[in-house]
Amino acid sequence: MKLSHPELRSRLAAEYVLGTMHGAARRRFQTYLERDAALRAEVNQWQARLVPLIDVVTPIEPPRRVWQKIEARLFDANSTQTQASTVVSTPNAAKRGSASGLFTWLTSRAGLTFAASALCGMLAVLLLVRQLPPYDQPMRVAVLEDTSGARMVIEQNKPQLLEVRMVKPWKANTSSSFQLWILPPDGAPRSIGLINQDGSTKIEMKELEGLLEGGLAFAVTREAKGGSVTGQPTMPILCKGVIAKTPPREANRSANKPANTI
């Protein structure tokens, strides 16, 4: 199947969304989608066009057990296996472990500006921290920057809550997702989750502290819609910022508190 002709691409995207593509053809098209951002954009456009048709579908009440099963899968402490894979907003996260080469790749692509921008980030962090009241000091804070300056501020004010505030949003793009990573001193970046393209994102997860532990900096990449399918960054870093931590005593004390979700 050649996917070079624009009209063919659009037609296949339309038929994928419409629903005429089944089974093997559908799966084959999905493999194209994974590696073709323009094709994903085409699919997103068709979704926006066609899916509102559901407005005319007559609702049918599902049985009560569906909700019970959803609750059991997500919140039942006994089904921790599913909980671990679903509660956390980290699609495709932590799939691959042996990716130290990727960190090299990341740092090389992030390039030589890393140190310079890290320094700027530190200055910004110091300014920011100084303005915060002492009793409300975040556990971690970072200002993520690119060449044009600060893009977003990330704060961890609770052991299980990370807040991302966009300072200067990117242009909205329906075909991609922004994915937040934590960069450990060595080894592969770890996915924290997807963030909104503008406004703010709150990422709440039980395992947050463990995920962030030892991380030196946050970074954001623009990935395929839904996040990187490999569990590792596949695109260049858009912005990054080193993490300023509060004294370890405070952080450890907070981290050792029992899980306490909303």
Partner 1 sequence: MMKPTGPNAVAERGAELAQLLAQVALGNRAAFESLYAATKAKLFAVSLRIVRERHIAEEVLQDSFVKIWSHASDYAIEKSAPLTWMATIVRNRSLDIVRRPHIELADEDDALAALMVDDAPSALDQLAARRDEGQLARCMQALDGEQRKSIALAFFEGLSHSEVAEKVQRPLGTVKTQIRRGLLKLRGCLDGHVQRDIGAQA
Exactly one of 34, 36, 146, 198 binds partner 1 (CB under 8 A); that residue is 198
Binding of partner 1 by 137 (CB under 8 A): no
Is residue 262 involved in binding partner 1 (CB under 8 A)? Answer: yes
End-to-end CA, the chain = 49
Among 2, 4, 31, 65, binds partner 1 (CB under 8 A): 65
Does residue 8 belong to the site contacting partner 1 (CB under 8 A)?
Answer: no
Q: Is 184 in the site for partner 1 (CB under 8 A)?
A: no
Task: Determine if 84 is a binding residue for partner 1 (CB under 8 A).
Answer: no
Q: What phi and psi, each to the nearest 5 degrees, are found at residue 245?
A: -110, 150
Residues 6+ away with beta carbon under 8 Å from 129:
137, 138, 141, 244
CB-CB contact of 144 with 151 (8 Å) = yes
Instruction: Count interface residues toward partner 1 (CB under 8 A).
Output: 65
For the packed helices 113-131 and 100-110, what is the interaxial angle rounded to 10 degrees?
A: 90
201 binds partner 1 (CB under 8 A): yes
| Residue list 17-56, contact with partner 1 (CB under 8 A) | 18-23, 26, 38, 41-42, 44-45, 47-56
Contacting partner 1 within 217-246 (CB under 8 A): 226
Kindly list the distances between the CA atom of residue 76 and the CA atoms of 73, 86, 211, in Å, as whole numbers in the listed order. Answer: 6, 12, 22
Q: Looking at beta carbons only, is 82 or 104 nearer to partner 1?
A: 82
**Where are the alpha helices (H) located in 36-112, listed in sequence order?**
37-50, 64-75, 80-86, 100-110
Contacts of 56 (CB under 8 A, 6+ apart): none
Residue (187 or 226) nearer to partner 1, CB: 226
Among 3, 32, 34, 87, binds partner 1 (CB under 8 A): 87
CB of 83 or CB of 246, closer to partner 1: 83
Q: How far is the CB of 83 from partner 1 (least distance, A)?
A: 10
Residue 11 token pair: 């037609």
Place of tokens 């099963």: 69
56 vs 112 by CB, closer to partner 1: 56
125, 133, 187, 192, 241 from 136: Cα distances, Å: 15, 6, 32, 23, 21
- Specify whether the backbone of 52 is left (phi greater than 0), alpha (psi in -120 to 50) or beta: alpha
User: In the complex, which residues of this chain contact partner 1 (CB under 8 A)?
Assistant: 6, 9-11, 14-15, 18-23, 26, 38, 41-42, 44-45, 47-63, 65-67, 69-70, 73-75, 82, 86-89, 91, 172, 174, 177, 193-198, 201-204, 226, 261-262
